[in-house]
Amino acid sequence: MLPPGSKLPPIVQTAWFMADAPGVFERFHREYGPIFTVRYAGFPPEVYVTTAELAEQVYRTDHNGHGHAGAARRDFMEHLVGAHSVLTLDGEPWERHRKKLNPPLRAKQVAGYRDDIAAIAAEKIESWPLDRPFALRDRMQEITLEIIIRLIFGIGDAGRVRRLHELLPALIETGGAMQVAMLPERLHGIAARVPFSPYGRFLRLRAEVDAMLFEEIRRRRAAPGGTDVLGRLLEAGLGDQEVRDELITMLIAGHETTATGLAWAFERLLRMPEILRRLPDDEPYLDAVVKEVLRVRPVVYEAPRLLSAPLRLGEYEIPAGWYAGPYIPLVHRDPAAFPTPGQFRPERFLEGHPSRGWMPFGGGRRFCVGAQLALLEMRVILREVLHRLELTAPDQAPEARRLKNVTLAPAKQTRVIARARTPARAT
């Protein structure tokens, strides 16, 4: 039996999803129960599961080889990340790349970046406006982008850093735009020749970024070493094109996601003064707060697998060729995994091992490779901001969740007003 789902035509389901993604999933969950099918125009049907137990069963397909996370992402991402990216590979090539990417991003390794992250944050915070509202998410993105450029790409030259701050957001924006990401491959040649086409602009930006990255790779091969991730990947024996693809992969997967996680952290905390008061110096509590924020406001809403064999989930059988994945915001409200799921309670992460249903970074073998770096960034940046500034929300109403590529971001980008703290509190 197939999981239930709406009878609305796929084009209507797609339009509804684009207009109000969280609303659609919550409605289908209410109507059809913990497992349901969504049909998007032009794609195979996707089955969403909403309990921790069902999500684990889906992640198990990473182990038996029937679930393909790479294939589920390839069509949207390969033009950006290239053909040698852990995001879009599966099987043996994925395994080979993942083994090279894991070591430099382990908790112990990234802990060495703590002071650099704090220094980057401190410098950027200096330039924030005081006493008038601004969008915090953009400021977070400047910080997380600088972290990628300096600590992952290992680029420190001020001129190049500045140029990359212009190029990389433009590359991601044009590369993620529908007209480019959804352009069928057979039309790439024609689109590239149309003057001023979005695809042509994307190709020009990509060429300029690639030239900078290849030059950096050449330079670093001549002078090996360094503590940045680029240096470690070169030592691990990846080829130039493979290293370029993995650098762009970390940029795409790691900078907007972390910035959005931080934006949600501030959006939530500014509406919970009793929790904010206990921050930021109690490190275990800060860590628990970050994890609880990612539970109640997971940034990435799904982690789909393209199935190459039928998947049995309880009384249902999902056919090969369909997608299956958790809808993470609802898994995080599964009362079997999180008692009193509606309450913001960081303590749940201090009272022993957190629930196995916590999956802001996905799960199975494809679990986010950058999770430890992201958590460290969130703790350090929260701390730097809270030490320097007193933030308030100009409007106390919670910000809605708005779909932004594969993330759910605060609709108003986390509007805040910053005031300088008294010198006694500053570090």
Q: Does 141 bind ligand HEM (CB under 6 A)?
A: no
For residues 199 and 349, which CB has a smaller minimum distance to ligand HEM in the complex? 349
* Residues within window 160-179 making contact with ligand HEM, judged by CB under 6 A: none
Span interacting with ligand HEM, options 12-20, 43-51, 299-307, 308-316, rule CB under 6 A: 299-307
* Residues within window 370-399 making contact with ligand HEM, judged by CB under 6 A: 370, 373-374
* Residues within window 332-361 making contact with ligand HEM, judged by CB under 6 A: 360-361
Q: Select from 300, 324, 304, 303 the least CA-distant residue to 401.
A: 300
Instruction: Give least dist CB 253 to ligand HEM, A.
Output: 3
Span interacting with ligand HEM, options 123-131, 168-176, 232-240, 365-373, rule CB under 6 A: 365-373
Instruction: Give least dist CB 367 to ligand HEM, A.
Output: 6
Q: Which of 98, 165, 387, 404 binds ligand HEM (CB under 6 A)?
A: 98
Q: Which of 369, 380, 382, 385 binds ligand HEM (CB under 6 A)?
A: 369
Span interacting with ligand HEM, options 8-16, 127-135, 343-351, 364-372, rule CB under 6 A: 364-372
Instruction: Give least dist CB 35 to ligand HEM, A.
Output: 18
Instruction: Give least dist CB 152 to ligand HEM, A.
Output: 6
Instruction: Give least dist CB 106 to ligand HEM, A.
Output: 12
3-state secondary structure the chain: CCCCECCCCHHHHHHHHHHCHHHHHHHHHHHHCCEEEECCCCCCCEEEECCHHHHHHHHCHHHHCCEEHHHHHHHHHHHHHCCCCCCCCCHHHHHHHHHHHCHHHCHHHHHHHHHHHHHHHHHHHCCCCCCCCEEHHHHHHHHHHHHHHHHHCCCCCHHHHHHHHHHHHHHHHHHHCHHHHCCCHHHHHHHHHCCCCHHHHHHHHHHHHHHHHHHHHHHHHHCCCCCCHHHHHHHCCCCHHHHHHHHHHHHHHHHHHHHHHHHHHHHHHCCCHHHHCCCCCCHHHHHHHHHHHHHHCCCECECCEEECCCEEECCEEECCCCEEEEEHHHHCCCCCCCCCCCCCCHHHHCCCCCCCCCCCCCCHHHCCCCHHHHHHHHHHHHHHHHHHEEEECCCCCCCCEEEECCEEEECCCCEEEEEECCHHHCC
* Residues within window 56-75 making contact with ligand HEM, judged by CB under 6 A: 69
For residues 176 and 363, which CB has a smaller minimum distance to ligand HEM in the complex? 363
Instruction: Give least dist CB 295 to ligand HEM, A.
Output: 11
Binding mask 239-278 for ligand HEM (x = CB under 6 A): ----------xx--xx--xx--x-----------------
For residues 171 and 369, which CB has a smaller minimum distance to ligand HEM in the complex? 369
Span interacting with ligand HEM, options 114-122, 125-133, 363-371, 391-399, rule CB under 6 A: 363-371
Instruction: Give least dist CB 363 to ligand HEM, A.
Output: 5
Give 172's contacts (C-beta < 8 A, 6+ positions apart): 80, 251, 252, 256
Give 412's contacts (C-beta < 8 A, 6+ positions apart): 135, 395, 399
Q: Does 299 bind ligand HEM (CB under 6 A)?
A: yes
| Separation CA 262–CA 410 (nearest Å) | 11
Structure token digits, residue 214: 């290849």
For residues 154 and 362, which CB has a smaller minimum distance to ligand HEM in the complex? 362
Instruction: Give least dist CB 168 to ligand HEM, A.
Output: 14
* Residues within window 301-320 making contact with ligand HEM, judged by CB under 6 A: 303
Instruction: Give least dist CB 299 to ligand HEM, A.
Output: 4
Residues that bind ligand HEM (CB under 6 A): 69, 86-87, 98, 249-250, 253-254, 257-258, 261, 299-300, 303, 360-364, 366-370, 373-374
